[in-house]
Chain A
Amino acid sequence: MPSPERMESSAGAAEKLVMVIDDDPMQLKQIGDFLRRQGIRCVLEGNGFSAIQTIKSTVPDIILLDVRMPGLDGIQTAQVVQRMAKNTKIILMSGHADMLTAAAEAGLEVFATVDKPLPLRTLSRFIHEAFAQP
């Protein structure tokens, strides 16, 4: 398991913070590259446990969360996060439509869900919409 990678982006959108949680470091890197290029500050986490540890000190505005992960999966992580940071908006990423349904069943309030493969422009639109909301 790669150690959680943190990257601070030079804040663009009113010092908002986006946390990306994905067990695949390559995907994590691609999303990180994209967000940074967009001027969005982001934190990258490789699994649910390290993300929860980080959120204890730094509460992100938005969490981009991969659903399928070994260990603590996306749904379980989201449930924990929602209790810890009520204002954090959660965007779920999954290649599996069932997982999104499972999220709804688990009583999660997610801001958006994005299917994988992930079109980065769509992701960007969702993030900006989330930023725009109070």
Chain B
Amino acid sequence: MAPPGDARLGQNGPRRGDRQRSEGTCAALRAEQTRVLYRQLPLVVLLNTIVPPVVAVLTWPQVGVPVWLAAWTAAILAANLGRIVLWMRFRQIRPGDAECRRWALYATIAAGLNGALWGIACLAFMPADSTIDQLAWVAVILAISSASMAGLSARLEVYYVAAAPMLLPLAAAFLLRGDTVNVALGLLTLVYAGALALFARNIHAALRQSLALQFDKDKLLQTLALAQDDTVRVHTRLIHAIENISVGLILFDAENRVILGNSRFNEFFPFLADLNRPGTPYRDILLETIRRGLFPEAQADPEAWIARRLDPERLNQDREYVLGDGRCFQVWEAPSSDGGTVSVWADVTDARRRETALSILVEASLKEESFLESVVQAMAVRAGYRWAGVALHREGGEVEVVAFWDGERPGAPFRYAMAGAPCERVLATGRVCHYSAGASEMFPDAPLLRQRGVEAYHGRVFTDSSGEVVGHLFAMNDRPDRGPQATPDMFRLFALWVGIELERQRAEEAYRESERRFQSVASNMPGLVVQARIAPDGGIAFPFLSAGARDLLDVDPEEGMENPDAVLERLYPEDRDSLVAAMQRSRQTLEPCSVPFRVTRPDGRNLRWLRMVSRPFRDGGGDTVFDGLILDITEQKRAQLQLMQTSKLATLGEIAAGVAHELNQPLNVIRMAADNCLITMETGEDDPEYNREQFTLISGQTERMGQIINHLRQFSRLEPSSVESFDPRSCLDNALTLLRRQFELDGIAVVTSLPATRGVVTGRANQLEQVLINLFTNARDAIAGRAEQGRAEQERAEQEGTAGSSSQAGPLGVRGTIRVAMTEDEAEGLVRIAVSDTGGGIPVDIIDRIFDPFFTTKDVGKGTGLGLSISYSIVTAMHGRIEVRNTGEGSSFLVVLPARFPTIETGELADDTGGGAARAAE
């Protein structure tokens, strides 16, 4: 390869014959000429110093005034002395290129002065008559001029300045004299001067060229030197790079002998250092590696293996070797330009360990194997150590190794005491502790290290998310570290990881435990734990159903979770609608909902009452989730039904006396009518007309009784009548029918205010009737109770003798009044039925409790305490309300029921009234 300096030289160096020079080069050239000038100056000065005295001596006799000659001689000597001084200064200073200009000027001035003095001498001292003398002067001047030409032509202008004042006055002097000889001499002088000028010019050009050549040569040499320097530097760099490259590099020649091997290769394989020198056959190197056991696969047949290694086929192919000492090398060999081979050895141990560690972890995570076992294996592989473990710090200075990689395979968990073990140091540092060698000697009390002959040890604590140290990781090797370990960083990662993973495992365990508990609770509890989900579009799904689904709904939980319709199908259609409606309502308000509903088997048997209680919340996706419980309330319903029945019977009991009287009256008529007929028959006074009259009477009376009994039966029927729309007025009429006569006998006036109404309410008619009977009998009892009290007071007064004439007549006539008023509010969709009495009202301290079950103020045996409570639940079930207040003279109960007001056009009212009439006729 060509050194870079060459290229630079070729491009930038002056070419032969190139006459173009830069300004700088010209200046340097001129400076050099100046230096040549000064170099030759002493000779010129010498000549000019020797000649004048000679001339003066020879001329002395001819000169008229010798003083002038002496003066001239002195002047010219002084001038040349000055030139010598200049020369000496020049030599002393050695002025640079720029300075030389000035020095050239000095030399010019001095030369001009010298020339002028010679010119003056010609004019002043040359005799005009002696041709011989004249010729002598010409000779002298020409000689001086020639010498100057030789000495000063280095700088042409210096020569010109020196010669012109010498030669021109001489020529002028001759020419001015006008005679032939003189003119000839003048011309001769001029010709000579011209010749000298030409010479000077030529000499100057020659000198200048020679100087230029000198210059070029110097520059060339300089550039060459630079180029050489570059080459050396590049070579050094290359060598440096090759030495310091992270791969081992050996160049082989065409005969597979070493040309060059870098020292990195020696670092990798110290035992090959002796072989790694020029001339060693590759084969020898390979043999040595086999002998050292680096290539386990070569042991079987070394020759064949070497042959494969040297086969040109191997070239340009990556090959990876796991060496006998555990290291991993990637070898790449390529042909070089000179027919040899470049062999590159890269240590990829770390990269391979990293990959292996990663693949262990990835595989473990895929196979869901124990994470910690994989981590310890990965840790060992990554660090290139034989053993690795994860240890948790337990109470009492104990350490539990929960996962351990025991060289080749996972080891069993074990415990040991922390005292004397390196982990004590790890914990003391609070972070990390590393020993590159001799760990087992350092900790003779640690059996774990001693048994295994541990050399290198690395331990590092790990923390939970709160930063508290909960354990440590460690890795150990039975070989000292080969060099600085890459482990710290890796261990930091593993520590972080293990800390997080252990915490995650704990959380997961807690979650599983919670899940188990939940599953156990969900499947063992008597109800059905359910999660329902309503999507924004209203679709219902059941993400969770506990095992109770099988018992309560006859639905397999899995099936129900997959197909919500399987669950919904079990519900009574009308109950399904009401359940869905209730859930939709709850979804809007997010209020808990509690809905009873009925389910049945596919065959329609086994009716069951269930109740779903649940609390909705909205999840992130806009769905509404109901976490709820479905309970079997069949028994409760049955009990409730029983209670209803009981309460109805109690209500019947309340009115039994009145009803009995009602029945007794017609019975009495019948009895007497029958007796009368019998008696007339016995006495023979019987009259067919009379008998028919009597029998008609009897028949009519039984009809009256039948009606009463029928109504009672209907009222006390066990099966609840179905929910329907009905006219509340009919209930009021029925209740009054049963009670009005009795109230009359009890001296209670019933005042009704019943304008024509058309509102219909929804519910069970006989239940509303029960409510009204309850209210009426309560009112009656209140009035009777007050009358009783009044009589008792009166009697007391009589006994005390304070009674006046009032006792004469006794309490006659009406004892109290019950007012019944029914109104309807079409705008609000309500029907109001108010039952007020004059019974004195309800004590304020119990007025809030009168709707509580089993609360009664009546004597034992007179009331069950259920009446008002049942009334309350009946009215509430009809989505109405019942209120009580004291009016001053008594209490007033108000039943408010939601009602519809069907228009006549639809015919609904007609139907309903028809239905009501039909019921009344029953």
Contacts and interface: CB of A to CB of B under 8 A. Distances in A.
B680 A118 contact: no
B667 interface: yes
B676 A26 contact: no
A116 B669 CA distance: 9
B813 interface: yes
A30 B672 contact: yes
Contact of B672 (A31, A71, A76, A80): A31
Contact of A120 (B657, B679, B685): B679
A118 B747 contact: no
Interface in A50-101: 68-73, 76, 79-80, 95-96
A34 B745 contact: no
Contact of A116 (B664, B744, B809): B664
Nearest to A121: B675
Interface in A10-64: 24, 26-27, 30-31, 33-34, 37
A95 B661 contact: yes
Contact of B669 (A26, A37, A70, A72): A26
A30 B669 contact: yes
B661 A70 contact: no
B745 A68 contact: yes
B657 A96 contact: yes
Nearest to A25: B669
Nearest to B675: A120
A27 B674 CA distance: 12
Given A68-B661, A95-B660, A120-B675, A73 B668 contact: no
A13 B701 CA distance: 33
B732 interface: no
A72 B675 CA distance: 29
Contacts of A69: 745
Contacts of B683: 37
A30 B661 contact: no
A27 B665 contact: yes
Interface string B680-709: 100101000000000001000100000000
B120 to A, nearest CB: 189
Contact of A27 (B661, B672, B679, B812): B672
B671 interface: yes
B745 A76 contact: no
Contacts of B812: 71-72, 76
A34 B667 contact: no
A8 to B, nearest CB: 19
Contacts of A34: 672, 675-676, 679
Contacts of B676: 30, 33-34, 37, 120
A73 B669 contact: no
B380 interface: no
A27 B810 CA distance: 27
Given A37-B679, A76-B812, A117 B661 contact: no
B306 interface: no
Given A68-B661, A73-B745, A27 B675 contact: no
Most buried by B among A26, A27, A34, A80: A26
A117 B668 contact: yes
A68 B839 CA distance: 22
Given A33-B676, A70-B745, A71-B747, A27 B669 contact: yes
The DSSP consensus for interface residues of chain B is helix
Interface in A107-134: 116-121
A71 B680 CA distance: 35
A117 B657 contact: no
Contact of A118 (B668, B697, B744, B810): B668
A16 to B, nearest CB: 20
A68 B665 CA distance: 10
Contact of B744 (A27, A70, A79, A80): A70
B610 interface: no
B338 to A, nearest CB: 142
A117 B670 contact: yes
A117 B685 contact: no
B671 A119 contact: yes
Contacts of A76: 810, 812
Interface string B175-205: 0000000000000000000000000000000
B670 to A, nearest CB: 7
B673 interface: yes
B859 to A, nearest CB: 15
Contacts of B679: 34, 37, 120-121
B259 to A, nearest CB: 140
A23 to B, nearest CB: 8
Nearest to B680: A37
B667 A117 contact: yes
A95 B809 CA distance: 26
B566 to A, nearest CB: 62
A119 B665 CA distance: 14
A4 B744 CA distance: 19
B672 A118 contact: yes
Interface string B788-826: 000000000000000000000110110000000000000
A117 B672 CA distance: 8
B672 A120 contact: yes
Most buried by A among B667, B676, B697, B701: B676
Contacts of B670: 117
Nearest to A106: B810
Nearest to A76: B810
A80 B810 CA distance: 9
B813 A71 contact: yes
A117 B671 contact: yes
B656 to A, nearest CB: 11
A3 to B, nearest CB: 18
Interface in B198-225: none
Most buried by A among B672, B697, B747, B813: B672
Most buried by A among B665, B679, B744: B665
B362 to A, nearest CB: 96
A80 to B, nearest CB: 8
B745 A95 contact: no
A9 to B, nearest CB: 15
Nearest to B811: A76
A26 B697 contact: yes
Nearest to A83: B808
A79 B791 CA distance: 15
Nearest to A70: B744
Interface in B692-745: 697, 701, 744-745
Interface in B636-675: 657, 660-661, 664-665, 667-673, 675
B668 A27 contact: yes
Nearest to A120: B675
Most buried by A among B660, B679, B685: B679
A37 B676 CA distance: 9
A119 B675 contact: yes
B477 to A, nearest CB: 110
A116 to B, nearest CB: 4
B295 to A, nearest CB: 124
Interface in B122-144: none
Give 3 nearest A-B pairs by CB, closest first. Answer: A95-B664, A117-B671, A30-B672
11 contacts: A26-B701, A30-B669, A34-B679, A37-B676, A71-B747, A72-B813, A95-B661, A95-B665, A116-B667, A116-B671, A120-B675
Interface of A: 24, 26-27, 30-31, 33-34, 37, 68-73, 76, 79-80, 95-96, 116-121
Interface of B: 657, 660-661, 664-665, 667-673, 675-676, 679-680, 683, 685, 697, 701, 744-745, 747, 809-810, 812-813
Given A95-B667, A96-B660, 9 more contacts: A27-B665, A30-B673, A34-B672, A37-B680, A70-B745, A70-B747, A95-B660, A95-B665, A116-B671
